[in-house]
Amino acid sequence: MKFNVQFANKSPYKKLTLKFVVHYYHYAGVESVGVCYGVNGNNLPSRQEVVDLYKSNGINQMRIYYPDEQALQALRGSNIELILDVAKDTLSSLTNANEATNWVTKYVTPYAQDVKIKYITVGNEIHPSDNEAQSILPALNNIQNAISSANLQDQIKVSIAIDMTLIGKSYPPSDGVFSDQAKSYIQPIIDFLVSNGAPLLANVYPYFAYIGDKQSIPLDYALFKQQGNNDVGYQNLFDAQLDSVYAALEKVGGSNVKIIVSESGWPSAGEDSATTDNAKTYLSNLINHVKSGNGTPKRPGTIETYLFAMFDENQKNGAATEQHFGLFNPDKSSKYQISFN
**What pLDDT shows up at residue 9?**
34
The yes-or-no verdict on residue 11 having pLDDT over 70 is no
Banded pLDDT at 1 (limits 50, 70, 90) = low
In this structure, how many other beta carbons lie within 10 angstroms of the beta carbon of residue 287? Answer: 20
Rounded Cα gap, residues 248 and 295, in angstroms: 18
Residue 28 pLDDT more than 60? no
Q: What is the pLDDT at residue 2? A: 42
Is the distance from CB of 301 to CB of 319 less than 8 angstroms?
A: no
pLDDT of residue 29: 37
pLDDT, position 32 = 65
Query: Does residue 174 surpass a pLDDT of 70?
Result: yes
- The band of 107, judged by pLDDT with boundaries at 50, 70 and 90, is very high
Mean pLDDT of 98-127: 98
- Per residue in 72-89, pLDDT (tens digit) is 999 999 999 999 999 999
Banded model confidence at residue 5, pLDDT cuts 50, 70, 90: very low
In terms of Cβ atoms closer than 10 Å to its own Cβ (0-12, 13-18, 19+), residue 195 is exposed
pLDDT at 217 over 50: yes
Share of the chain above pLDDT 70, in %: 91
Let me know: does 145 contact 102? Beta carbons within 8 Å. no
Q: What angle do CA 192, 195, 196 make, to 5 degrees?
A: 85
pLDDT of residue 182: 97
Q: Give the pLDDT of residue 31.
A: 53
> Does the pLDDT of residue 12 top 70, yes or no?
no
- Residue 257's pLDDT is 98
For residue 25, what pLDDT band results from cuts at 50, 70 and 90?
Answer: very low
Does residue 335 have a pLDDT over 90? yes
DSSP class per residue in 88-101: GGGGGGGGSHHHHH
pLDDT band per the 50, 70, 90 thresholds, residue 286: very high
pLDDT at 341: 76
**Rounded Cα–Cα distance for residues 268 and 265 (Å):** 10
Predicted local distance difference test score (pLDDT) of residue 340:
87
Asked if residue 37 lies in contact with residue 64, where contact means CB atoms within 8 angstroms, the answer is yes
Exposed e or buried b per residue across 330-339, where buried means at least 16 C-beta atoms within 10 angstroms of its C-beta: eebeebbebe
Minimal CA–CA distance to 157: which of 197, 109, 114, 216?
Answer: 197
Model pLDDT for residues 238-266, shown as the tens digit of each residue: 999 999 999 999 999 999 999 999 999 99
Calpha distance 128→27 (Å, rounded)? 32
- Catalytically active residues are 125, 263
Express each pLDDT in 287-323 by its tens digit. 999 999 999 999 999 999 999 999 999 999 999 999 9
13 has a pLDDT exceeding 80: no
Element (H, E) at 62: strand 61-64
For residue 16, pLDDT over 50 is answered with no
